[in-house]
Amino acid sequence: MPSSPSLFRPRTLDEALDILAGTPDARPISGGASLVAMMNAGLVEPAALVSLTRIPELSGIRLTADGSILVGAATRHSAIAADKALGGTAAVLAHAASQIAGTAVRNMGTIGGAVAHADPGLDFPPALFAVDARVQLAAKPARRALPIGDFFVDWYTTALEPGEIVIGFEIPKPKPGDGFYLKHARVSGDFAIVSIALSLADDGEARVAVGGCGPAPLASAEADLMLSSSLSADTARRAGEVLMALANPVDDVRGTAEYR
Ligand SMILES: Cc1cc2nc3c(=O)[nH]c(=O)nc-3n(C[C@H](O)[C@H](O)[C@H](O)COP(=O)(O)OP(=O)(O)OC[C@H]3O[C@@H](n4cnc5c(N)ncnc54)[C@H](O)[C@@H]3O)c2cc1C
């Protein structure tokens, strides 16, 4: 039987990064909603867990002087669903958060843990594409930021390097407008079979992303341009065809590739 991992609960980001860099086979843990299930199933056996939820810098949603929004990686799904700063085109993020699982998981899971987990049925990734987010990463000694489109590399695989963690998400200043997240799942609160995230500015600019149809959300500048030039049933159909050409769905317990 595997031995229990050591648990570290650092209070600062610096401390967390030092532990991750200096402890063999250490893994970050945030809400634990996915990681504990993977450990219980014997899929992963980390020697040490480094909890990220007691580090103030990683939690909460902040407005910056230029109007952009910083969402800390350890911010819980329920906090994102309820945050009034996520208005205008950024509302898509709160709308997606409100549809994740049930109340218990929304009070436990974090946006950083979800995105690092990179399950293709997750709700945040398409919404982060629709707001054109940048992922902020930190390791010892350096920090870096990646456009969300460069973060997902393959099925359950991200650009995270060993010892590196997601520290937050930078959302460009939202425009007046709205954001919508439509999820098709077997039952309410289940992972998405297919989902669509859309941000729609009052000036007509649209950004769309589709979840569940490949290792990463499907997004295309061409589809965005079509929807931005005129929002009609015809442009929606044509944008859908552009995105469908990028799809690489697989069969899983929630649905077949053909159904998706
Ligand atoms: C019953 C159930 C139903 C669910 N339904 C949905 C749903 O409908 N929609 C949906 O989107 N999600 C759903 N989820 C997943 C949920 O959103 C999880 O919270 C999320 O996948 C993981 O977040 P976490 O904070 O718990 O991460 P953890 O479980 O703590 O970690 C997950 C992985 O990410 C790594 N990690 C954690 N934090 C970081 C970080 N900051 N930087 C780098 N790596 C990190 C861990 O090492 C681990 O590999 C569900 C989960 C459960 C248990």
pLDDT value of position 65: 96
Q: pTM of the entire structure?
A: 0.96
Q: Would you state the pLDDT for residue 3? A: 75
- In sequence order, the 6+-apart residues with CB closer than 8 A to the CB of 45 are 2, 5, 39
Give domain 180-246's CATH architecture: 2-Layer Sandwich (3.30)
Residue 162: φ, ψ to 5°: -55, 135
Full pLDDT tens readout for the chain, 260 residues: 567 899 999 999 999 999 999 999 999 999 999 999 999 999 999 999 999 999 999 999 999 999 999 999 999 999 999 998 899 999 999 999 999 999 999 999 999 999 999 999 999 999 999 999 999 999 998 999 999 999 999 999 999 999 999 999 999 999 999 999 999 999 988 999 999 999 999 999 999 999 999 999 999 999 999 999 999 999 999 999 999 999 999 999 999 999 99
Tokens encoding 129 = 């594409």
Locate CATH 3.30.43.10 in the chain: 1-51
> 122 in ligand 1 pocket by Cβ < 6 Å?
yes
* Bridge partners for 168 per DSSP: 72, 136
Pocket test for ligand 1, best of 117, 136, 153, 190 (most atoms within 8 A of CB): 117
Would you put residue 101 in left (φ > 0), alpha (ψ -120 to 50) or beta?
Answer: left
Q: Is the CB of 28 under 6 A from ligand 1?
A: yes
What number does the ligand 1 atom closest to the CA of 46 have? Answer: 47
Give yes or no for residue 32 CB within 6 A of ligand 1. Answer: yes
Q: What are phi and psi of 228, to 5 degrees?
A: -75, -30
Query: Using CA atoms in the order 145, 148, 153, 155, what is the torsion angle rounded to 10 degrees?
Result: 130
Q: In the prediction, which pLDDT does 84 show?
A: 87
Largest CA distance in the chain: 60
**CA torsion through residues 4, 10, 13, 14, sign:** negative
Residue carrying structure tokens 């990220």: 52
Q: Pinpoint the residues of the chain covered by CATH 3.30.390.50.
A: 180-246
Count of CB atoms within 10 A of residue 214's CB? 18
Model pLDDT, residue 1: 54
Q: What is the Å distance from ligand 1's center to 119 Cα? A: 9
Is any ligand 1 atom within 6 A of the Cβ of residue 17? no
User: Whose Cα sits closest to atom 39 in ligand 1?
Assistant: 113
CATH of domain 1-51: 3.30.43.10
Give the Å distance between the CA of 32 and the centre of ligand 1: 7
Task: Tell me, in angstroms, the distance from the centre of ligand 1 to residue 72's CA.
Answer: 15
What does DSSP assign to residue 77? Answer: H
User: Who contacts 104 (Cβ-Cβ below 8 Å, separation ≥6)?
Assistant: none
The answer to whether residues 87 and 175 touch, using CB atoms and an 8 Å cutoff, is: no
